[in-house]
Structure 1
Amino acid sequence: MLLYNKHKKNHTSKGNRILISVTVLGSAGPIRFVAYEGDLVASIIDTALKCYAREGRLPILGSDFNDFLLYCPVAGPEALRPWNTIGSLGARNFMLCRKPEEKKLGDGGDRRPNSTINGGRKGGGSWKTWINKSFSLKIPSH
């Protein structure tokens, strides 16, 4: 009984365990795993990428957590900072997206996201734009 209590105290230093659900943009369904409330967002991204690769999901993402951003629909349209704790938001559902790649254009030295160059969708058809429009909560008048 004494060992059980000592073991329990060591785990409470990180906080309570929570079930995290991470939806990867472009994947079939969410990845679910248990994490501690005190875990950093960067470690959650790393764990999600490892689970994604272990399950053999497509499209293949890679393993560098620095190439990805984690979003929380409850917290707003901004990406979560990698050094924040995951339990500070009080949310359990997240979305994992690849960081937009920047590509240098011609002579002007202008840098723009790769998705808007040659064949990108017009009108900013990203999910982030959709979330921003959803938060605006405009009520049309008749």
Structure 2
Amino acid sequence: MLLYNKQKKNQNAKGNRILISVTVLGSAGPIRFVAFEEDLVASVIDTALKCYAREGRLPLLGSDFNDFLLYCPMVGPEALSAWSAIGSLGARNFTLCRKPEEKKVVKEGEGEGRSNSINGARKGGSLKAWINKSFNLKVSSH
């Protein structure tokens, strides 16, 4: 009985456990797992990515938690700080999104003349704009 009480005290030393539901954008359904209220948002993102990969879900995300942001729809539109405690928000449902890629701004005269283009079309440009420029045709959008 004494051993049982010591184990119980050690489990409660870290705090209360909570069931977290993390929805990954583009995935079929949420990932659910148990975390401690004092766990950092960064460790929750890491755990969610590991569970996602273990379950073989698609699309493939990768394993670097620094590439992702965790949002709580109840708190607001801002991403949660990676160093805050997950239980401090009072919420249990979260959304995991990939960080937006930063676009590199290339000034004219820097680098090679056509490094931003492939066959006269810009990377990331729309196909409609390329066709309009190449053939001087007007392609309707409907």
Shorter-chain TM-score: what band? 0.7 to 0.9
Name the Cα RMSD after superposition. Answer: 1.5
For residues 18 and 118 of structure 1, the distance between their equivalents in structure 2, rounded to whole angstroms, comes to: 45
Q: What aligned pairs does 1:102-121 form with structure 2 within 5 A after superposition?
A: 102-107=102-107, 118-119=125-126
Aligned partner of 2:40 in structure 1 is 40
Q: What aligned pairs does 1:18-57 form with structure 2 within 5 A after superposition?
A: 18-57=18-57
For residues 99 and 73 of structure 2, the distance between their equivalents in structure 1, rounded to whole angstroms, comes to: 17
Deviation at residue 106 of structure 1 after TM alignment: 2.6
SS at match of 1:47: helix
- Name stretches of at least 5 consecutive residues in structure 1 with no aligned partner: 110-116, 120-142
Aligned partner of 2:132 in structure 1 is none
Aligned partner of 2:65 in structure 1 is 65
One-letter code of the match for 2:9? K
Aligned partner of 1:79 in structure 2 is 79
CA contact (8 A) 1:14 1:39 kept: no
For residues 41 and 13 of structure 1, the distance between their equivalents in structure 2, rounded to whole angstroms, comes to: 19
One-letter code of the match for 1:68? F
For residues 48 and 9 of structure 1, the distance between their equivalents in structure 2, rounded to whole angstroms, comes to: 27
For residues 62 and 80 of structure 1, the distance between their equivalents in structure 2, rounded to whole angstroms, comes to: 20
Deviation at residue 23 of structure 1 after TM alignment: 0.1
Displacement over 6 Å in runs of 4+: none
For residues 125 and 3 of structure 2, the distance between their equivalents in structure 1, rounded to whole angstroms, comes to: 63
Using a 3 Å threshold, how does the CA distance of structure 1 residues 8 and 118 change in structure 2: closer, same or farther?
Answer: farther
Aligned partner of 1:124 in structure 2 is none
Q: Provide, for residues 80-121 of structure 1, a one-character-per-residue CA deviation record: whole Å limited to 9, x for no partner.
A: 111111110111000000000012133169xxxxxxx534xx
Larger Rg: 2
- Name stretches of at least 5 consecutive residues in structure 2 with no aligned partner: 111-123, 127-142
Aligned partner of 2:136 in structure 1 is none
| TM-score of the two chains, using structure 2 as the length reference | 0.75
One-letter code of the match for 2:79? A
SS at match of 2:94: strand
Percent of residue pairs bearing the same amino acid type: 79
| TM-score of the two chains, using structure 1 as the length reference | 0.75
